Amino acid sequence: MNTIEKIFDAPWPPPVAEKPFQPFPEAYITGPVPAAFQTKTVTQLAAALFRVSEEMAADLTAFGAVWLDDRPCLEPEKSLTGCRTFRLNPPAYGPARFYEADPARIIYEDRDILVYNKESGRPSQAVPHDAYNNALSAVGRLLAARGERPRLWLLHRLDADTSGLLMMAKNKQAAGILGKAFQGGQVEKEYICQGLGAAPAKDAFEVEASIAKDGRRYVVRPKGPGLAAKTSFSVLDIGEAFGQPGWRRVLFLARPLTGRTHQIRLHLAWAGWPIIGDRFYGRPEAGSAPRLMLASAGLSFTHPADGRRMTLKLDY
């Protein structure tokens, strides 16, 4: 099995519903809790506004599709007394529980930390319409099935389409120490990615260019306002010609020296090698790809309990 097959395994996308669950045309609805519901339950409100049975409304609430006062509410029988606002986020696939963590994908675990090799297609944590089918919740259920009841803290995030090493803390003390380490840039990260462009002239290079949010997207602004960002790239392999004349599939090792949103994807696209399968910054001419060809492949950090330096890597 080659690097591509080892690192970029098949994604785990959401199910495609035969008939999308869409009780109202908007992506979501929100507003103040109606006075008539102030003494009723979340299920009763959800049933009325989703226009579904109370059984379905309770299931949608437990699934994570109902928010109260800007926070998810997973308690169907919770009273609305004192609640000010609501938001209903209908999942297109309904309250379908389709994802569970694979024990074989736990790369490392001890009493303080757990590192999971997250699949592409799954978010790191709950999203507004679904608090079930994500890595953090799924790993928590896996530990509960083993008889453990730890609370898990997510120490960093990977985009839903990015796979690879995702670290969680199993107690508050470890979460505090490692959280500061991630924020302070003391955790070294490595990513494997496959871009599309001309054969690189150098085996290694750096991209230092600020990143800013422009509407709902992120952009590179080398001379404009934005957050400073720097990424080191090394060429691992140059593939055969592909697509347009002069284009090659190029495999890179990326080391982000800062932690900006979409940093590797933006920097590699700006340098001339958009990542294959990138729906936002990729090349439409690359054709369809089964997944985003980006994976978190290495983490180096100081263990929060005993101070030893640890390096965890995917095998490639």
Q: Which of 159, 214, 237, 306 is catalytic?
A: 159
**Rounded Cα distance, 209 and 195, in Å:** 18
* Element of type H or E holding 274: none
**Rounded Cα distance, 197 and 283, in Å:** 9
End-to-end CA separation in angstroms for the chain: 9
**Rounded Cα distance, 314 and 1, in Å:** 14
Q: How many residues does the chain have?
A: 316
- Residue 278 tokens read as 């990138």
Q: Counting beta carbons within 10 angstroms of the beta carbon of residue 90, is it exposed (0 to 12), middle (13 to 18) or buried (19 or more)?
A: buried
Phi and psi at residue 42, in whole multiples of 5°?
A: -60, -40
CB atoms within 10 A of CB 237: 13
Q: Give the single-character DSSP code of 33.
A: P
- Residue 129 tokens read as 């319409």
**Rounded Cα distance, 118 and 107, in Å:** 10
> Catalytic: 102?
no
What positions carry a catalytic annotation? 159
